[in-house]
Chains A and B, each alone.
Chain A
Amino acid sequence: EAGVAQSPRYKIIEKRQSVAFWCNPISGHATLYWYQQILGQGPKLLIQFQNNGVVDDSQLPKDRFSAERLKGVDSTLKIQPAKLEDSAVYLCASMLGREGGDTQYFGPGTRLTVL
Chain B
Amino acid sequence: DAKTTQPTSMDCAEGRAANLPCNHSTISGNEYVYWYRQIHSQGPQYIIHGLKNNETNEMASLIITEDRKSSTLILPHATLRDTAVYYCIVNFGNEKLTFGTGTRLTIIP
Contacts and interface: CB of A to CB of B under 8 A. Distances in A.
- Chain A interface bracket (under 10, 10 to 19, 20 to 34, 35 or more): 20 to 34
Interface stretch (B16-24, B40-48, B58-66, B75-83): B40-48
Given A91-B44, A100-B32, A109-B42, A43 B97 contact: yes
B100 A101 contact: no
A104 interface: yes
Nearest to A105: B46
A111 B43 CA distance: 11
A16 interface: no
Contacts, number: 60
A19 B90 CA distance: 33
Contacts of B94: 31, 95, 97-100, 102
B51 A104 contact: no
B92 A100 contact: yes
Interface string B2-14: 1000000000000
A21 interface: no
Interface in B27-50: 30, 32, 34, 36, 41-46, 49
Interface string A5-47: 0000000000000000000000000010101000001111100
Q: With a 10 A CB-CB cut-off, give which of A42, A56, A99 has the most chain B CB atoms.
A: A42
B100 A42 contact: yes
A106 B43 CA distance: 6
A43 B44 contact: yes
B2 to A, nearest CB: 8
Q: With a 10 A CB-CB cut-off, give which of B30, B41, B100 has the most chain A CB atoms.
A: B41
Interface in B79-107: 87, 92-94, 96-102
Contacts of A93: 43-44, 97
Given A45-B96, A102-B94, A91 B32 contact: no
B99 A104 contact: no
B93 A101 contact: yes
Contact of B46 (A56, A100, A103, A108): A103
Interface of A: 4, 31, 33, 35, 41-45, 48, 56, 91, 93, 95, 97-109, 111
